[in-house]
Chain A
Amino acid sequence: MIVDRKIKLLSIVLLGLFLFSTALIGCGPVDDDEIDVGDPVDPVVEDPDEARPPEDRILRYTMANTPQIDPARGSDHASASALVNLYDTLMYPNYDGTIEPHVATDWDVSEDGLTYTFNLRDDVVFHNGDNLTAHDVVFSMERLLTVGEGYAYLFTGRVEQVTALDEYTVEFQLSETFGPFLAALVRLYIVNKDLVLDNIDDGAYGDMGDYGTEWLRDNDAGSGPYMVRELLHGEHFIADKYDDYWSGFEPNNPEGFKLIGSNEPVTVRTLIARRELEISDEYQPAENYQAMADIEGVEVAEFASGKILQLTLHNQKPPTDCIHFRRAMAHIIDYEGLTEHAFPGALPAQGPVSTALPGHYANVTVYEHSIEKAQEELQQSQYYDELDNYPIDVVWVSETPDREKLALDVQAKAVAAGIQVNVVRTPWVSLVEQVSSPETTPHAAIVLMPPHYGEAGSLLESGFHSDSLGTWENMSWRDDEAIDSYINQALSTVDRDERFQRYYEAQERIMEVLPAIPVLDEPEKHAYQKAYMAWEPAERLERGEMVLPVVGYMFYMKNIEFIE
């Protein structure tokens, strides 16, 4: 009923405008023709409320950006969602957090935990018809390590050598034990060696030229269930089903998918309402999820995805280089207030690791919202007397409009404590570029931290280890030996309990020195067309089963089926 009243009000306000617009438009006879022809031809306009699968069976979803489909480069959500469909990996992550063999059939681990030997399936065929062999695995790992981007950090400094023992046996030699190695292997996308070598250009990698980076920017060399049709950067990415995929398809799997690289709230909602979009991205404002949930046949699924919304602080730049200042910031944030109205469904973060992620430390220190405590901390800060001279920039990513609420709230609360805050809107790509050097990194930026495999170590390493400084995940510029050593020890520990103990220590240390302030444990929300599609992660959620999706696998197309 509220809606009715709103609409009525709106009609009154708009009446004048409406008249004047129609007067203008309605003047010429030409215009009527245009509307008439537009109407019956456009099938979507014909009956916007009817929910049924698209005729071409191509599943469409939005993301904040178009993907980087080079497996040695892409690592954000959009890229991961494309890569998991284009490429095969040795291991496959289940939604319950377990891992199962995929291209690998079985494996051996040496006594010292340093040598892993995998036997591979012999029936995996690349999109161009080549057979996938151990040589491709070797090449893929070498290429990933050399180019060094994307998920390379998982293996850099750990994988010493990869050898093909025979056509279908591959051996990884590690330089140190790496507990979650099997889990990390879900990020080793296997590229077709011969195809990449055929498409090498001049470049900076010596013998390897550009290592195929130019070609792989727009093409795939994979064996995954889907293959590239078209990548239009900044617009969309389209992939088609690869009919000869070795593990086959369900009859109602999508014939292809289209990733729309723009998530303007208005567009997303319009597309959902017109059934021109099957799954929304996770960055919509709360208001928009509400509006989409009200559309017939559309449901909003909330996954405990293990992601933490945090405020990363520049630990080298005044005034955020002062620990008391950082602690004051941590006290300024109104965690409870934010979850109450602005971020429904979120919970105050319990440390840097989500409670949903194995390895979370339950007794970690948390900061409470208290302007008094913030002021106490500030008084100990060297900047206390000249706070006005040290305004701080709080950056939020412009593709994620909801985070402006957090930035503005931090600003409003900071004023009460005497800290000047500038709220700065920055596009994603610019932020990624800025954080590559300490000079251009902002004082504080709001980012959503994803686990790249299902354990605390993933997030701790990519977000807090000094090796990852200069990436968007770790823009704190804090080179902290204690944190590094806890993480290193943890990751090289094979025993789970002992590994988790190290994770706990790392988390406690992080909360003590605050490279970043964990703010919210945020569910990953997606609006989707429940009426005509079966989406496995959402169905598991409904059955009350665990869903711990490894980034990107939510969009694994073989787990989606259209329903008539």
Chain B
Amino acid sequence: MWYKFSRSKLSVIGLFIVVSVILLAIFAPFIVPYPLHAGAYTDFANANQAPSAEFLMGSDNIGRDILSRIVFGLRSAITMSLFVLAISVPFGVFMGLIAGYFQRSLIDSVITRITDIFLSVPPLVLALVIASLLEPSLRNAMLAITIMWWPWYTRLVYGQASSISRLDFVRASELSGVKWWNLLFKEILPNCVSPILTKVTLDMGLVIIIASSLAFVGLGEQPPAPALGNMVADGAKYMPEQWWMTIFPALAIMIVVLGFNLLGDGIRDLYSMEDK
């Protein structure tokens, strides 16, 4: 398996980025030069320093080390992504399985309509609306994204589940008294694993994009805790003189998302190769 995976250099790069980002996130307090700078801290005497040996990526207008804040920002971005997917994926998949299995029943139409509602407005707009109706905080941003994320999995699984549930062997085992939930989880779910897993990896990046977009507007993690999107937005006010305030966090977002996308593509290729 690893052999197949490692044949694609890009996938390996993706894996490398993802693993190092996750390690950075876990060990952030021990790695970064100024862990205090990610919290309530001000040092106006050292504000607006260009990148130097002291501040590798410069300091912001409050005098905080950009590098330390980026690493902590990555940490919250990753946590957020994991959280969002940990809730929305199982929930969405379950909904999709049920709706697909009980085709043309009341449950099916209710679930499908609800997903339609969520999918009828552009996702970012919906997340912005939900997040803005609540008080701005990391938790509410996660909530907003979770609420709008699960329908995509429902839709993804729905087609698969409905086509499998129509197969003869499923109908047969149903007649022979096998309980529907056993069928759902033992027969239908395993068939959906590969698209789900691929989507999850790709979505790690997408959630980070949406989350940083929310933070860009000011609806994510609240100061002084660093959020990458917020850092980009704040820094943009001081361009071009203090370019480092905005460019480095922007690059960080790009690289993380790139990592997850490369990895996701790698996993997809892996599965499609296996299918063949």
Contact = CB atoms under 8 A, between A and B. Distances in A.
- Same complex: yes
A425 B218 contact: yes
Interface in A83-128: none
> Which one of B41, B241, B247 has the greatest number of beta carbons of chain A within 10 Å?
B241
B44 A9 contact: no
Interface residues of A: mostly helix, strand, loop or mixed?
helix
A14 B240 CA distance: 12
Contacts of B242: 287
Interface in B234-273: 234, 236-244, 247
Given A10-B243, A412-B41, A404 B223 contact: yes
B53 interface: no
A266 B236 contact: yes
A405 B236 CA distance: 16
A411 interface: yes
B40 interface: yes
A65 to B, nearest CB: 17
A266 B237 contact: yes
B42 interface: yes
A264 interface: yes
Nearest to B237: A265
A405 B42 contact: yes
Interface in A393-421: 398, 401, 404-405, 408-409, 411-412, 414-415, 421
B50 A6 contact: yes
B223 A6 contact: no
B234 to A, nearest CB: 8
Contact of B223 (A9, A338, A408): A408
A421 to B, nearest CB: 7
Contact of A291 (B62, B223, B241): B241
A412 B239 CA distance: 26
B62 A408 contact: yes
B222 A424 contact: yes
Interface residues of B: mostly helix, strand, loop or mixed?
loop
Interface residues of A, number: 35
Interface residues of B, number: 27
A349 to B, nearest CB: 18
Contacts of A424: 222
A421 B39 CA distance: 12
Nearest to B223: A423
A408 B42 contact: yes
Interface string B189-206: 000000000000000000
Contacts of B50: 2, 5-6, 9
Interface string A3-35: 101100110011000000000000000000000
A287 B224 CA distance: 20
B226 to A, nearest CB: 12
Contacts of A414: 40
Given A264-B237, A265-B238, A340 B222 contact: no
Nearest to B250: A17
A2 B58 CA distance: 14
Given A285-B237, A408-B62, A415 B44 contact: no
A9 B241 CA distance: 11
A409 to B, nearest CB: 5
A448 interface: no
Given A285-B238, A287-B241, A337 B222 contact: no
A405 B63 CA distance: 10
A266 B243 CA distance: 12
B51 interface: yes
> Which one of B41, B223, B243 has the greatest number of beta carbons of chain A within 10 Å?
B223
B98 to A, nearest CB: 41
Contact of B40 (A2, A3, A412): A412
B237 A405 contact: no
A317 to B, nearest CB: 16
Contacts of A408: 40, 42, 62, 223-224
A432 interface: no
Contact of A423 (B48, B224, B234, B239): B224
> Which one of A14, A340, A409 has the greatest number of beta carbons of chain B within 10 Å?
A409
Interface string B38-64: 011110110110110000000001100
Nearest to B135: A424
A338 B44 CA distance: 8
A150 B88 CA distance: 50
A14 B224 CA distance: 28
Interface string A250-286: 0000000000000011100000000000000000010
A422 interface: yes
A342 interface: yes
A288 interface: yes
Given A10-B243, A412-B40, A405 B51 contact: no
A285 B44 CA distance: 13
Contacts of B238: 265, 285, 287-288
A341 interface: yes
A64 to B, nearest CB: 14
B44 A342 contact: yes
Given A341-B44, A405-B42, A412-B40, 19 more contacts: A2-B50, A6-B50, A6-B241, A10-B243, A10-B247, A13-B247, A265-B237, A285-B238, A340-B44, A398-B218, A401-B237, A404-B223, A405-B61, A408-B42, A411-B40, A411-B224, A412-B224, A423-B223, A423-B224
Interface of A: 2-3, 5-6, 9-10, 13-14, 264-266, 285, 287-288, 291, 337-338, 340-342, 398, 401, 404-405, 408-409, 411-412, 414-415, 421-425
24 contacts: A5-B50, A9-B51, A10-B240, A10-B244, A264-B237, A265-B237, A266-B239, A285-B238, A287-B238, A288-B238, A341-B44, A342-B47, A404-B223, A405-B44, A405-B61, A409-B44, A411-B40, A412-B40, A412-B42, A412-B224, A415-B39, A415-B40, A422-B222, A423-B223
